[in-house]
Amino acid sequence: MKPVIYLDNNATTRVDPEVFEAMKPFFCERYGNPSSIHHFGGSVAADIEKARCQVAELLGAEFRDRDGIATEIIFTSCGTESDNAALFAALGARPDRHKIVTTAVEHPGILACCRELERRGVIVEYLPVDSRGRLDLEQVRRAVNSDTALLSTMWANNETGTLFPIPELAWIAHEKGALFHTDAVQAAGKVPIDVDADGVDFLSISGHKLHAPKGVGVLYVRRGVRFRPLIFGGHQERSRRGGTENVTSIIGLGKACEIARRNLPLESVQLAELRDRLEKGVIERIPDVRVNGDIEHRLPNTASISFEYIEGESILMLLDRLNICASSGSACTTGSLEPSHVLRAMGLPYTAAHGTIRFSLSKYNTREEIDFVIESLPPIIEQLRAISPYWQERR
């Protein structure tokens, strides 16, 4: 059987072997509950605080309390929980305000929560994007007003890789007295983040997007911002998130953040080179393709490519026969026959949106793998277009 060529890293990533080694002792040797009074369990709390600091260093969260603890970092179960917690907390921190401003291209973790908040009487304004997935900052300024509790935008789009201007957006929010949240699930570990310098109030990340395990995430909450928990229970996370800590995964996330911070400058260059090689090879060999998103300002690992007049699901099935893994968009929308909400918001014609494939790379991908994909795609596209009525009509 051919080895898997995994190009779906925006959906999830392989756990780094260094991360796995760091986690192993906390399964069967140091398995105590960190809330315990006895030393066997209580000593694990120090390891959690080390992981908290490792996360803070990746995000540029410089504040430490008198004990040296990075108290702005709250461990959660995933990016979606972090997103939900940020939205509810912002409304609680600004009880006199009843509006959230977000974008039409957010992850379902934001959009579904916003729809629920609308049912509860909150006003939500969804900002459009242009054909390259960019925001109009003047339109953002008009949308954020004295009734706005929160402006929430992703740092990087999970489908196209388009980056949003986070410092400018945070400034717009603060100028009107609103808080600013960013879903940085796709950005963390791929581009530099500095929450202090950029004026971020809330920030979400998810472990399994940067070579840590699934089931752990983080919500950054700037010191001084009022925060009401989403999950009530015990005193864990300084009473900001109840429930016994997922110790092994927290340790893994801390280690993954340490590795990402150390390797980010070199890895971002290497990933961009592979991404560009893939796009160039596809464009040179296949007619009627387009690369989606803001080509100048995007993640180094993400290529959203539309193959016009055919179905993306058919492309994925034929790639899968070659053990090539990619996706037609967000993993959270798999199973839908409709084009992604991101591509529709960008105004892509249906003939292109339906045939869009997202290739998302990681540090484990090689030039040889990319070259194999480049060679494999032309016959797949030719085969599918030969039976496509849309392609025949076009000709």
- Please list the active-site residues: 332
Q: What are phi and psi of 358, to 5 degrees?
A: -100, 120
Could you identify the residue written with the tokens 């066997």?
Answer: 40
Helix (H, G, I), strand (E, B) or coil at 151: strand
Q: For residue 333, give Cα distances in angstroms to 112, 329, 340.
A: 12, 7, 8
For 124, other C-beta atoms within 10 Å of its C-beta total 19
Name every residue whose Cβ is closer than 8 Å to that of residue 21 and which is 6 or more positions away in sequence.
none
Listed in sequence order, the residues at least 6 apart from 67 whose beta carbon sits closer than 8 Å to its beta carbon are none
Q: Are 214 and 47 in contact (CB under 8 A)?
A: no
Exposed / middle / buried, residue 363 (Cβ in 10 Å: 0-12, 13-18, 19+) = buried
- Residue 375, class by beta-carbon neighbours within 10 Å (0-12 exposed, 13-18 middle, 19+ buried)? exposed
Which residue matches tokens 């296949």? 286
Task: Tell me how crowded residue 84 is: count the other CB atoms within 10 A of its CB.
Answer: 22
DSSP state letter for 35? T
327 beta partners? 358
The answer to whether the beta carbons of residues 55 and 254 sit under 8 Å apart is yes
Q: Which residues contact 142 (CB under 8 A, 6 or more apart)?
A: none
The HSE-up count of residue 108 (CA atoms within 13 Å, CB side) is 8
